[in-house]
Amino acid sequence: MRLTRVLVLCTGNSARSQMAEGWLRQLGGGAFEVASAGTQPTERVNPLAVKAMAEVGIDISARHPKHLERYLREHWDYVITVCDRANEECPFFPGGGKRIHWSFDDPAAAVGDEEARLQVFRRVRDEIRDRFASFIEQTRQRANAKRGGPGDAGRGEFAFRPEPDRSLAPPLD
């Protein structure tokens, strides 16, 4: 089965896109080939991004910022921008399939002591996790529908309707 290729872009490729890449690798179950890049990459991944991700068991310490030019000649099923500036600087991506833009606050712009800034990184980390978990689920459902999997009504569209979780419902007497 072919992996779904996803490129995540931001400006510096030092925090949001690195966290998104980490989440997609972790939550994607091997179904995604993922990379991240920046329009103006910094010299290193932000240490608070590394720390925030380590807290949830994802190691991005060996990652390094990359320039998006590295990926221009490749085909991507999805090109996802995670900051407004990258979205503005990259309105068209030649190797991209579907373009998606999700704006997340820049945690690197947080002020205060280290703990206050780390709190911002944690919040953004969790927002990214939630958005990408939803993306992964929707991508899987679309793939199932295209293959004629669960819930396909022959429309070639997103038709999967999971059964409600009744495990928390009170017993019927």
d(CA 104, CA 96): 21
Instruction: Tell me if residue 156 is catalytic.
Output: no
CA distances to 28, 99, 137, 154 from 132, in Å: 9, 14, 9, 27
Residue among 83, 86, 118, 145 flagged as catalytic: 83
Instruction: Tell me if residue 83 is catalytic.
Output: yes
Residue among 37, 45, 90, 118 flagged as catalytic: 90
Residue 8 burial (CB < 10 Å; 0-12/13-18/19+)? buried
- The sheet carrying 76-81 orders its strands as 32-38, 4-10, 76-81, 96-101
Residue among 10, 19, 34, 86 flagged as catalytic: 10
Active-site residues: which are they? Answer: 10, 83, 90
